[in-house]
Amino acid sequence: MLSFQSASELSAHLEAEILAGRLAPGDRLDPVRSAAVALDLAPNTVASAYRTLSERGLVIGRGRRGTFVADRRPMVAPEPLIPEHAIDLASGNPDPELLPDLGAVISRIDVPRTLYGEAPVLAEFERAVRRHLVDPPGEMVVVSGALDGIERVLAVHLRPGDRVGIENPGWPAMADLIRAMLLRPVPISIDDQGPMPEALRSSVDTLDALVLTSRVQNPTGACVTASRAEQLSEILDEHPQLLVVEDDHAGPISGTDLFSVGPGRERWALAASMSKAIGPDLRIAALFGDPATMNGVRGRQSVGPGWVSHLLQRIAGRVLAEQQVAFDRATETYGERRLAFVSELERAGIEARAPSGLNVWVPVLDVAAAVAACLDSGYAVRSGDTFVLDDSRAVRVTTSRLSPTQALEVSQVLAQSHSGRRHTRSG
């Protein structure tokens, strides 16, 4: 028979059962009193174990009905497998041909022998970021990509079980990160201008934090406009304690201005990533925020990795300062490819959303059938299932490298699955 000495032993056992799937989402835990009798523990001990699980987001108390295992999807959404024969329109990657030539930049950089004890932020990198990328008020910390920065910000303020508003549809990695931190994702519907005011208003009271993509939203390409930023700020102003985190991941290739809602709030942060413009492998982003948040991030970073390599900061700073022409060319080319695909879709009878970015979010009747039909024609597109927190149906097509002929072919395949007709290779 199972025997536990303390609340922490019991909660650890139940957590292991949940993670192993032996207790499934929706399963009810034994009521406190009967569990206490069965395990020969005081009811308070069992209640305390259940409380710990609830704080960690693993179970949900539903009053008299009892305590239930939370409805958790798999922690890490599987990356799409791109079969060898297929053209990759699924990964969301930039076009390598449109990324700056880092080899050429590196060959022109002086590399001092940097030791321990230097300031974490290289002045030359901060200057380049503020002059060429974004220049919000507040201090800057350098982190290893937007997601690393956002994780560090959430960790400063939130505890397991806290609720984080995220865009729906939205970037699956953000939902995964939130779940991995034992926080609870709360879907906020969006349109082409970002989070919809009525959607934010209806759940803002319950949120501890809000994460939004101010431009080049993934997967829809939505961009927060000046008027939408004003509407959202009005709602957020009634909740001064709420942490607002903005994810600006496409920076110099966004092709649109940044209308930010965070700066000036009590708790805010903005992560400016170089991944889409300079290349995801550089793993570098600039993080801005209010003094308390930045102190927390800096303090934790200082007892962990310490800083982000000055070599990376030097390279990224130099690229930002020197490569405006390359960024402009990339912005224009991505825009042409995206819009060419949207036009083909329109001609084929599909209205798709794509205000900016490297992807087009295409509504379909049956996600699995649309993905299969594309694959049958040699194109891997990404199922929309992992981007949505409800049951809306779409696929994401990455257009960063899409040629006009491919745009025509893919739109025709999607039109066939959109209209419910069966696609055949010849038809």
Ligand X SMILES: Cc1ncc(COP(=O)(O)O)c(C=O)c1O
Residue labelled with tokens 């224009």: 332
Q: Are 417 and 369 in contact (CB under 8 A)?
A: yes
Coil, strand or helix at 332: helix
Binder among 125, 171, 259, 387 for ligand X (CB under 6 A): 171
Q: By C-beta, is 138 or 279 nearer to ligand X? A: 279
CA dist 293 and 276 (Å) reads 26
CB 262 within 8 A of CB 290: no
The residue from 184, 249, 338, 401 that contacts ligand X (CB under 6 A) is 249
Cα three-residue angle 404-406-411, rounded to 5 degrees: 100
Using CA atoms, how far apart are residues 302 and 308, in angstroms rounded to an integer?
10
- Contact pattern from residue 177 through residue 216 relative to ligand X, giving x for each residue in contact according to CB under 6 A and a dash for the rest: ------------------------------------x---
Site residues for ligand X, 272-331, by CB under 6 A, read: 273, 275, 280, 285
Of 248 and 344, nearer to ligand X (C-beta) is 248
Contact with ligand X (CB under 6 A) among 92, 161, 279, 317? 92
Q: Of 128, 146, 308, 352, which lies in the binding site for ligand X, with binding defined by CB under 6 A? A: 146
Min. distance of Cβ 273 from ligand X in angstroms?
3
| Cβ at position 114, least distance to ligand X in Å | 23
Contact between 120 and ligand X by CB under 6 A: the answer reads no
In the complex, what is the shortest distance from the CB of residue 56 to ligand X, in angstroms, rounded to a whole number? 25
Q: Which is nearer to ligand X, 377 or 400 (CB)?
A: 400
Strand positions, DSSP E, 285-417? 285-289, 359-363, 379-383, 394-398
Work out whether 147 is an interface residue with ligand X (CB under 6 A): yes
User: Residue 361 has which token pair?
Assistant: 């979010």
Token pair belonging to 346: 């329109």
**Contact between 218 and ligand X per CB under 6 A:** yes
Joined together, the tokens standing for residue 287 give 């993080």
Q: Which two tokens stand for residue 327?
A: 């960024």
Sign of CA dihedral 14, 156, 183, 273: negative
Binders of ligand X among residues 359 to 398 (CB under 6 A) are none
Determine the interface stretch with ligand X among 24-32, 142-150, 202-210, 409-417 (rule: CB under 6 A): 142-150
- By CB under 6 A, which span of 13-21, 116-124, 144-152, 293-301 interacts with ligand X? 144-152
**Structure tokens given for 120:** 């974490």
Task: Please say whether the beta carbons of 272 and 250 come within 8 A.
Answer: no
The residues that touch ligand X, with contacts defined as CB under 6 A, are 92, 145-147, 171, 213, 218, 247, 249, 273, 275, 280, 285
